[in-house]
Structure 1
Amino acid sequence: MNKWLPQLVFWMVKLLKVTCRIRAINDQRPALRAAGQPYIYATLHAQQLAVVVYGEPGTGAIVSRSKDGDLIARSLEKTGVVPIRGSSGTRKGGATALRAMVNHVASGKPVCVMVDGPKGPRGTVNPGVAMLSQKTGAPVIPLLMVPNRRKVFASTWDRTQIPFPFSTIVGAFGDPMFPVEGESVKQFTARIQDKLAELECEHDPDEAAVTEQSVEPTSAPARAA
């Protein structure tokens, strides 16, 4: 089965690309591209398949150096995503992955970070995405992918979502979030987490209700109702 998994994932993504309709909301990437500004996607681990379906060729994504990671990397390569290897579950591996992502962004190509991966809690943003933005100056684009027809695996920690063929996938974008001078990594991370939570409340309220039960509160100001 492992031998055929990358090909299976490729054909699944191909089927969804051909049959699914994408509806983008607040997509400001054309202006960033026109200005020659690379960017960093911040999205939820549960939505990784929909993100791959919607992703731009050449987008980088971090993949662990485990045996499972080898399979995932081969699968991603077949779909046009660039696997960035380096994380092995150690601080040294994480630093290697961060350097690789910095280099990828510096080359002018986007990077996608599943901000609550690899183990959660769901909706709790890890600081790596804020660090990457601060090191490169590239803005973070919060992105939520919501299929109108999908399978949600409620028993998984992230509530993995699989879009159904012929569904409409809403790509809800937050405004580009640039690093602010004097802002700490923790403060920037809190801003990103709050924006993703806001997008989920607006566009996927049922899943947002689940996230609120597990997410760690931030020190950022409370959002308006």
Structure 2
Amino acid sequence: MLPLLTLCTRGVLIAVYRLLGLSVRIIDDPIDQLRAHRRNANNILFGIWHEFSVVGIYWYRHRRGSALVEDSWKGDVLAGIMNHFGFKDFRINSNNSRAYGRGVLGFIRYLKDGHDGTIAMDGPNGPARQAKPGILHIAAKSGALIIPGGAYFSHAIRFKKRWDNYQIPLPFSRCHMVFGEPFEVPPDFREREQEVLDELNRITDELTEEARQRGRAYSRSSALISVKSERLERATA
């Protein structure tokens, strides 16, 4: 049985996630783009930076999603939140190779069965925005399409003292998400692993920057529309 502290923390965070999910506006929702990718493949493996991992839990709720979760107190809390929103968690233990392997194998089987998954490519402990080899091996073994993505929040709390600069959007803020084309893992990726990871890093950074630029452009456009509306109201008053 889970400790009371874990259950209470889960309950509070689930309420927070629901508030964010109901109030944060997603601009240009990319779900149709992802459905098109799914028609061409059995499953999808999302690749994002750890700092934006909050965005997917509510947005991709109840769509057969899954993720790897560290076997720890924080992992217990996160798993409860994910389960609440229809995700399946697979536990890994970075300090125990056998437990780590069991979790990854379970994740791969789940993907092979036609489900989707998400990997924070630089997690769980960084360095930030440096993809680790795991996503390449999991994609190759499961046959999943890697879909790299970036995000931008118009207003967010940024935890600058964390290794990943983790971000949590504020209620009623905007979220811009940008997903790229499927990233193909070459058959010889093991022989040039770092080269392939560098390419994946570059693409994901570009998508993150594109999301930021879209967000800034949207803000400028909204401000301009607001100014024009004010002038029109004054002119007709």
In structure 1, the residue matched to 2:87 is: 81
Q: Give the root-mean-square deviation of aligned CA atoms.
A: 1.9
In structure 2, distance between residues paired with 1:37 and 1:31? 11
Q: 1:53 aligns with which of 58, 76, 80?
A: 58
Which of the pair has more CA radius of gyration?
2
Moved over 4 A (4+): none
Q: 2:140 aligns with which of 123, 134, 144?
A: 134
Question: What residue identity is the alignment partner of 2:126?
Answer: G
- Whether contact under 8 Å (1:98, 1:128) holds in the other structure is no
Q: 2:203 aligns with which of 185, 188, 195?
A: 195
- Whether contact under 8 Å (2:145, 2:184) holds in the other structure is yes
- Whether contact under 8 Å (1:6, 1:71) holds in the other structure is yes
In structure 2, distance between residues paired with 1:189 and 1:93? 25
- Whether contact under 8 Å (1:25, 1:173) holds in the other structure is no
Structure 1 unaligned residues grouped into runs of 5+: 206-225
- Whether contact under 8 Å (1:5, 1:75) holds in the other structure is no
Tell me the percent identity. 22
TM-score using structure 2 length = 0.79
- Whether contact under 8 Å (1:137, 1:179) holds in the other structure is no
In structure 1, the residue matched to 2:70 is: 64
Is 1:37 aligned to residue 49 of structure 2? no
- Whether contact under 8 Å (1:151, 1:164) holds in the other structure is yes
Question: What residue identity is the alignment partner of 2:196?
Answer: F
Q: 1:15 aligns with which of 15, 19, 27?
A: 19
Higher helix content, 1 or 2: 2
Per-residue CA distance 1:146-177 (angstroms, 9 max, x = gap)? 11111111111100101011111111101111
Q: Secondary structure at the residue paired with 2:26?
A: strand
Structure 2 unaligned residues grouped into runs of 5+: 214-237
In structure 1, distance between residues paired with 2:129 and 2:211? 15
Give the superposition deviation at 1:188: 2.9
Q: Secondary structure at the residue paired with 2:53?
A: helix
